[in-house]
């Protein structure tokens, strides 16, 4: 049986109503959503805000050995906030939804598999008459996925399960936040302020007591030396932090020198399957992943794995089905503090799909991988030719080299995945590519 893949990477439910969209523009987000192609099987229906160029679709399906001719591509109608996103208006667009009835029968669809399960995914499930056969539909249809992707709700779930997390508070009161932040800063410790419906470090801000302190995991850092400065800063920025007063704000003690790591699972009717693990590369916010990266070297790995599985079991018991990642911070002293959960496809999901389908191995082992987004002055075809001319193109026999995992966006960015038999070899491929292309 086949599925409907929905590339709804950017939704108001996921990032907040008042989110600032990426500078590369919404069409670039539409290209990013094409990463879901790495999980496509024969006869799937692929729903995207921007249909992939034929050349990129052929490239992906050739590597995954998927029959491109068997796939059906549906481009979503344009609505707020613009071309490049799967608009919430799709859930009310009768002509858009109507086509899924016939397509679902023709392709023998049994479920909808979205990047993120929102109201559009629910509407498509009903239109395709697969709501009852889509795993976890009842929980998702009632907004359960939105609840679990909240950083504020995560802290409550983690504390209830006894999972180690950073010290902090969740509040709707800027004075409460200021009291906590001022106390930490007076003690010489930094804090990180998080918009609880953002991802990839977007919306985060580090407030620290000393100039030039480390600020990994946030777009901006602010030096505040007194309680008065803390009060003024939080009061003046509270509308941004709280999404115009609609959301709670998370403020936590910032632990410097941490290694960001993750574990990814697939929660199904049969249980919990490990799907991948790795290190998140930060510069200062998300700059790619390394698989397995430094996660295998941290002293607290076994404890982190136990905690991550406990969280996955909790989430599965609530009724969620689909991909889930657990992010952690391996502290210099040893323990791994769990940072958040992402109940959706993540920035690593397509890479682990690639690892299983192209390399023929489980995502957790066998090869070493580095994935990053970089700038190119060329189109997809010429970018590939430059990679090949430098001897970096993927070698099908050795199963090493560079794969282009995301087509070139309107702002001239593309994503590459460098694969080696060792961490050193994967890094050498990535370094050679970095020398060939400009950094993002």
DSSP letter assigned to residue 293: G
Distances (CA, A) of 164 to 33, 144, 272: 33, 23, 21
Start and end residues for every CATH 3.30.310.50 domain found in the chain: 367-440
3-state DSSP call for residue 176?
Answer: helix
pTM assigned to the model: 0.93
CB–CB of 127/98 below 8 Å? yes
Q: What is the CATH number of domain 367-440?
A: 3.30.310.50
3-state DSSP call for residue 179?
Answer: helix
Start and end residues for every CATH 3.30.470.20 domain found in the chain: 256-361
- Residue-by-residue pLDDT tens, the chain, 440 positions: 899 999 998 776 776 665 666 656 889 989 999 999 999 999 999 999 999 999 999 999 999 999 999 999 999 999 988 899 999 999 999 999 999 999 999 999 999 999 999 999 999 999 999 999 999 999 999 999 999 999 999 999 999 999 999 999 999 999 999 999 999 999 999 999 988 766 665 678 999 998 777 778 787 889 998 889 999 999 999 998 888 888 899 999 999 999 999 999 999 999 999 999 999 998 877 889 999 999 989 999 999 999 999 999 999 999 999 999 999 999 998 899 999 999 999 899 999 999 999 998 654 468 999 999 999 999 999 999 999 999 999 999 999 999 999 999 999 999 999 999 999 999 999 999 988 886 44
Sign of CA dihedral 96, 101, 106, 110: positive
- Axis-axis angle for helices 151-161, 301-318 (nearest 10): 110
State the Cα–Cα distance between residues 46 and 403, nearest whole angstrom: 21
DSSP letter assigned to residue 269: T
Q: Where are the beta strands (DSSP E) in 254-335?
A: 259-268, 271-282, 286-291, 322-330
3-state DSSP call for residue 126?
Answer: helix
Render 18-64 in DSSP notation, one character per residue: TPPPPTT-HHHHHHHGGGGGGG--TT-EEEESSPPPHHHHHHHHHHH
Counted residue by residue, the chain has a size of 440
Among residues 18, 80, 15, 23, the alpha carbon closest in space to that of 49 is found at: 80
Residue 397's CB is within 10 A of a number of other CB atoms, namely 5
Helix (H) or strand (E) run with residue 102 in it: helix 94-106
Cβ-Cβ contacts under 8 Å for 80 (sequence gap 6 or more): 87, 88, 89
CB–CB of 272/266 below 8 Å? yes
Torsion angle (degrees, nearest 10) of CA 64, 70, 75, 76: -100
DSSP letter assigned to residue 400: B
Backbone torsions φ then ψ of 262, nearest 5 degrees? -150, 155
What class, spelled out in words, does domain 256-361 have in CATH?
alpha beta
* Distance, first Cα to last Cα, the chain: 40
């Amino acid at each position: 049986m086949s599925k409907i893949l929905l590339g709804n990477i950017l939704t108001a439910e996921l990032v907040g109503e008042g989110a600032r969209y990426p500078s590369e523009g919404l069409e670039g987000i539409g290209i990013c959503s094409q990463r879901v192609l790495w999980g496509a099987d024969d006869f799937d229906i692929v729903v995207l805000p921007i249909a992939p160029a034929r050349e990129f679709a052929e490239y992906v399906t050739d590597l995954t050995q998927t029959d491109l001719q068997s796939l059906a591509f549906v481009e979503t109608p344009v609505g707020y906030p613009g071309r490049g996103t799967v608009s919430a208006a799709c859930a009310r667009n009768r002509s858009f939804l109507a086509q899924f009835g016939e397509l679902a029968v023709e392709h023998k669809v049994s479920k909808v598999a979205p990047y993120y399960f929102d109201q559009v995914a629910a509407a498509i499930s009903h239109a395709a008459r697969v709501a009852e056969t889509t795993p976890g539909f009842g929980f998702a249809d009632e907004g359960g996925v939105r609840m679990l992707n909240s950083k504020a709700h995560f802290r409550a779930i983690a504390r209830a399960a006894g999972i180690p997390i950073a010290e902090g508070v969740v509040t709707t009161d800027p004075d409460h936040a200021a009291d906590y932040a001022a106390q930490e800063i007076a003690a010489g410790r930094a804090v990180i302020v998080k918009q609880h419906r953002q991802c990839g470090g977007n919306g985060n801000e580090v407030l620290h007591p000393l100039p030039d302190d480390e600020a990994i995991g946030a777009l901006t850092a602010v030096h505040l030396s007194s309680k008065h400065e803390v009060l003024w800063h939080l009061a003046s920025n509270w509308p941004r932090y709280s999404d115009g007063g609609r959301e709670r704000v998370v403020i936590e003690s910032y632990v410097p020198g941490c290694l960001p790591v993750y574990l990814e699972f697939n929660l199904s009717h049969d249980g919990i399957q490990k799907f991948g693990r790795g290190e998140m590369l930060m510069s200062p916010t998300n700059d790619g992943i390394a698989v397995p990266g430094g996660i295998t070297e941290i002293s607290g790995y076994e404890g982190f794995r136990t905690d991550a599985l406990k969280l996955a079991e909790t989430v599965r018991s609530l009724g969620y089905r689909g991909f889930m990642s657990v992010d952690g911070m391996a502290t210099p002293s040893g323990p791994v503090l769990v940072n958040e959960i992402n109940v959706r496809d993540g920035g690593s999901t397509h890479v682990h799909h690639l690892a299983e389908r192209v390399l023929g191995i489980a995502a957790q082992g066998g090869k070493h991988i580095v994935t990053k987004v970089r700038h190119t002055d060329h189109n997809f075809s010429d970018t590939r030719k430059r990679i090949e001319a430098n001897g970096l193109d993927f070698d099908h026999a050795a199963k090493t080299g560079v794969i282009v995992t995301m087509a070139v966006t309107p702002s001239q960015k593309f994503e590459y995945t460098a694969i080696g038999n060792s961490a050193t070899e994967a890094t050498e491929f990535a370094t050679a590519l970095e020398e060939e292309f400009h950094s993002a």
